[in-house]
Structure 1
Amino acid sequence: MKKVLTVGVFDLLHIGHIELFRKAKALGDYLIVAVQDSDCVFQFKPDASLVYSTEERCYMVSAIRYVDEVVVYRNVGDIVDEVDFDLFAKGPDQSHAGFQRVVDYCGENDKEVVVMARTEGISSSELKDLIKCMK
């Protein structure tokens, strides 16, 4: 069985997230989605505004039919040691040093890395900006 791992915050679920899960699941047999812990989001992005708690985000992600397992992660560089997977699916914008460590880890441990294309015309940041404008 080929296990696929993808990671993210997944605060405002939208069609782009669903497409990520659908396409990532198609790369293997079992999809593990790691949701970043809220405290860690604020640690890396102090000005972040999250709508949902870690638990609520995990609950929503777990309800999506393409997702087989949801785990919480603190640091992307550590999740690869904590989860058994064969393929790491990441977004094109997930390129900071932590993600580079994951890519290096995958290369050293016979794990595949696939960069997933973004869904055109949708992003969580744009949704949050739109909601602010509607107030």
Structure 2
Amino acid sequence: MINKTAKRKVVTVGVFDFFHLGHLNVLEAAKEHGDYLIVAVHDDKLNLKGVEFLYSLEERMRFVKSIKCVDEVIPYERVDTLLPTIEFDVFAYGPDQNHQFFQKAFDWCSKNNKETVMLKRTEGISSTRLREIINKKEI
């Protein structure tokens, strides 16, 4: 018998420091792949891009939690060590999320029958691009 009350859980991850329309689009697209969206927000410990954070982890988690399509927000340090610790069905990720820890996460998903979905970027919008524009204006 099929359990009609079971929720299909989707997890996605990100820094979400310079929150913009592209982030919102990614979160909404991730939610389309399930009933329950878990968003893992990158902590302050492992900074792979070497960029100073504008907001603390707690502030970034609060921003993300306020988004209507988000059901749960959790912190994470490394995606490859996060995924084995949570219950989910689909791992939704962006095309720029491809460093070594993501490769390990994809391998884990494959071995554990977890679906992976690459989400599309919003053209012309990125945190890096927004930082460049602001720096040029010297606000």
TM-score, L = length of structure 2: 0.92
Equivalent residue for 1:40?
46
CA distance in structure 2 between the partners assigned to 1:54 and 1:62 by the alignment: 12
CA distance in structure 1 between the partners assigned to 2:92 and 2:100 by the alignment: 16
Q: Deviations over 1:86-107 (max 9, x none)?
A: 0000111111111011111111
Higher helix residue share: 1
CA distance in structure 2 between the partners assigned to 1:87 and 1:29 by the alignment: 11
CA distance in structure 2 between the partners assigned to 1:85 and 1:131 by the alignment: 38
Equivalent residue for 2:19?
13
Deviation at 1:32, TM superposition (A): 0.3
Q: Deviations over 1:35-83 (max 9, x none)?
A: 0001222xx33x3121100000000000000100000001111110221
Q: Which runs of 5+ in 2 are unaligned?
A: 1-6
SS in 1 for 2:46: helix
Which letter does structure 1 place at the counterpart of 2:42?
Q
1:64-75 matched pairs, under 5 angstroms = 64-75=67-78
Which letter does structure 2 place at the counterpart of 1:13?
F
Q: How many residues align?
A: 132
2:84 pairs with one of 72, 81, 85: 81
CA distance in structure 2 between the partners assigned to 1:81 and 1:97 by the alignment: 16
Which letter does structure 2 place at the counterpart of 1:73?
Y
1:45-60 matched pairs, under 5 angstroms = 45=49, 47-60=50-63
CA distance in structure 1 between the partners assigned to 2:86 and 2:136 by the alignment: 40
1:119 pairs with one of 106, 122, 125: 122
Which letter does structure 2 place at the counterpart of 1:53?
S
CA distance in structure 2 between the partners assigned to 1:8 and 1:99 by the alignment: 12
Which letter does structure 2 place at the counterpart of 1:95?
N
CA distance in structure 1 between the partners assigned to 2:123 and 2:45 by the alignment: 29
Which letter does structure 1 place at the counterpart of 2:8?
K
Q: CA RMSD in A?
A: 0.8
CA distance in structure 2 between the partners assigned to 1:82 and 1:71 by the alignment: 12
